[in-house]
């Protein structure tokens, strides 16, 4: 283990919260080997036994909710209520869902054969081995622990590399998993920067990565060199389309929560509001007081806090640069617009109007407490603007006419489109979570997420007593070509008279 350590400081106060040692590539290799050794015994347990262990882990999480929320608030900065709702409740529900549904999802699946009826096929699912999870700092408990749960249910071991900004919560997460009955060596937590993440990729059988597009490309390239699968979730620039007939009160409340929850540090945050010009005044009448009422601060000291700090100073600088660029190009801040002086990485909840497509705020992920509003003249223009982004994770449509909204939703280039709601599909483990375009490859959640943690294997066997040999085996006879041509036409051709003709050799 390296003598170097990463110090974690509170995003709200700057005070030291804790530290972790940096894992060298040799440390990562040793950790992966421990997980690989433990995985052999874990995979031999029945799925029912693995589910039972994870159910007990769920109970430990519930018992230790206060510990989790307190550390998340200190380390990541979010209010405890958001730590509870966004991270703890989501994970508990995900475990509840997958431990209930895993037997169905991983049940061997028969494949009806359309032609060679004397044989049968089925799929079954085998663990991949060791799964590497490289996580972000915005939801450091849930986004690392959710794939850990899925990987374990599939029979794998796990190596987790949390963000260098929020490593402490994964140490507590491992403690909880072990307390619930997961073998200690089966989950390995390593810490560090890019070199550590690269070493994880070199020593596992699959990667699940959440982070930036730039880093995601590097992860995917390294996985490609090793020919191991990867799932990448690389951020979003979610548009919210507000149609003429939207329920303005509900829409305004949704936009505020969708834009400012977790201080805007959500890959599914509302980052572009495209509102029909005719309802813009009414929407702003609702938005301005709602945004003005949001109280930023340190929830460790004040229970009335609605918004915590940005997690790190680098991100605060990015948010300020996005806002400054917009104002320099003609946007106006109706609320906020500046970093807050004093300790911590606080930024004023900000509402921008007169926003135009040439501004960085409309093109690059902001990941902060800023809601930019752009007036649009018609739905066709909204769709064009929504699809202009290189990112496509989530999008939102607000309308009283659900059918109309669904029609528009199907035209938006995004992995998920919600109608009259925001963010909450991440809390629906049945539904796939993933994007299109530069927002990543593959999905977390849903049935496929569990199956993707496995090798899909196919078995084909004989249903009837086998013949001495198949007609297409050696030796080839002189009449075999003509026979197969007639059979092909009779069985696979189109049109009854054509089939009869081909059967006769015509």
Active site residues: 233, 267
Which residues have C-beta within 8 Å of that of residue 21, sequence separation ≥ 6?
Answer: 1, 2, 3, 4, 5, 6, 191
Exposure string for 298-312, b = 16+ CB within 10 A, e = fewer? bbbeeeebbbbbbbb
| Cα separation, 399 vs 404, whole angstroms | 8
Residue 433 pairs in a beta bridge with: 444
DSSP per-residue string spanning 450-503: HHHTEEEEEEEEESSPPPSS-TTSSSPPTTHHHHHHHHHHHHH-SSHHHHHHHH
Q: How far apart are CA 148 and CA 57, in angstroms?
A: 12
Find how far residue 34's CA is from the centre of its chain. 27
Show contacts of 114-117: CB within 8 Å, 24+ apart.
115/491, 117/463
CA–CA distance, 71 with 299 (Å, rounded to integer): 12
Answer yes or no: are the C-beta atoms of 196 and 159 closer than 8 Å: no
d(CA 302, CA 309): 13
Cα separation, 387 vs 272, in Å, equals 12
Measured in degrees and rounded to the nearest 5, phi and psi for residue 25 equal -55, -35
Q: Please give the structure tokens belonging to residue 56.
A: 């007990």
Strand order in the sheet with 157-161: 187-189, 157-161, 130-134, 206-210, 230-233, 440-441
**DSSP label at 24?**
P
83 alpha carbon, distance to own chain's centre = 17
- Say how many residues make up the chain: 506
Distance between CA atoms of 172 and 284, rounded to whole angstroms?
43
CA 235 → CA 25, 32, 194, 382, distances in Å?
28, 28, 19, 21
Q: What share of the chain is helix, strand, coil (3-state, %, to 5)?
A: 45, 20, 35
Residue 177's closest CA among 76, 86, 87, 91?
Answer: 91
State residue 418 phi and psi, 5-degree precision: -105, 145
């Amino acid at each position: 283990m390296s003598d170097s350590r990463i110090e974690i400081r509170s995003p709200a106060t700057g005070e030291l919260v804790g530290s972790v040692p940096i894992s060298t590539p040799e440390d990562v290799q040793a950790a992966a080997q421990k997980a690989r050794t433990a995985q052999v015994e874990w995979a031999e347990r029945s799925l029912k036994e693995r589910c039972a262990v994870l159910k007990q882990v769920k109970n430990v999480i519930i018992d230790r909710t206060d510990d989790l929320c307190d550390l998340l608030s200190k380390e990541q900065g979010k209010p405890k209520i958001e730590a509870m709702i966004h991270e703890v409740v989501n994970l508990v529900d995900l475990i509840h869902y997958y431990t209930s549904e895993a037997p169905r999802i991983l049940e061997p699946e028969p494949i009806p054969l359309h032609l060679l009826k004397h044989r049968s096929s089925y799929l079954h699912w085998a663990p991949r081995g060791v799964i590497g999870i490289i996580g972000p700092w915005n939801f450091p408990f849930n986004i690392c622990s959710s794939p850990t749960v899925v990987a374990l249910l599939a029979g794998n071991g796990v190596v987790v590399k949390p963000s260098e900004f929020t490593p402490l919560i994964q140490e507590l997460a491992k403690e909880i998993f072990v307390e619930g009955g997961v073998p200690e060596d089966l989950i390995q937590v390593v810490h560090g920067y890019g070199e550590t993440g690269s070493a994880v990729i070199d020593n596992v059988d699959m990667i699940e990565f959440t982070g930036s597009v730039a880093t995601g490309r590097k992860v995917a390239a390294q996985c490609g060199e090793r020919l191991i699968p990867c799932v990448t979730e690389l951020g979003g620039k979610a548009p919210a389309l507000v149609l003429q007939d939207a329920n303005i009160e509900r829409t305004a409340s949704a936009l505020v929560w969708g834009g400012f929850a977790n201080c805007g540090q959500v890959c599914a945050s509302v980052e572009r509001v495209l509102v029909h010009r005719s309802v813009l005044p009414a929407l702003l009448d609702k938005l301005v007081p709602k945004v003005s009422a949001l109280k930023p601060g340190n929830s460790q000291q004040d229970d009335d806090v609605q918004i915590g700090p940005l997690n790190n100073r680098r991100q605060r600088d990015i948010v300020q640069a996005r806002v400054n660029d917009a104002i320099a190009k003609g946007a106006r801040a109706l609320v906020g617009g500046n970093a807050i002086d004093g300790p911590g990485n606080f930024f004023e909840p900000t509402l921008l109007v007169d926003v135009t497509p040439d501004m960085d705020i409309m093109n690059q992920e902001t990941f902060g407490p800023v809601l930019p509003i752009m007036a649009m003249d018609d739905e066709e223009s909204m769709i064009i603007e929504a699809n202009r982004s290189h990112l496509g994770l989530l999008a939102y449509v607000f309308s009283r006419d659900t059918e109309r909204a669904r029609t528009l939703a199907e035209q938006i280039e995004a992995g998920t489109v919600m109608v009259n709601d925001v963010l909450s599909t991440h809390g629906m483990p049945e539904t796939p979570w993933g994007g299109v375009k530069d927002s990543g490859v593959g999905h977390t959640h849903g049935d496929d997420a569990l199956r993707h943690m496995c090798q899909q294997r196919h078995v084909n066997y004989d249903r009837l007593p086998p013949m001495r040999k198949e007609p297409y085996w050696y030796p080839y006879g002189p009449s075999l070509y003509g026979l197969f041509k007639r059979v092909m036409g009779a069985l696979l051709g189109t049109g009854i008279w054509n089939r009869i003709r081909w059967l006769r050799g015509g």
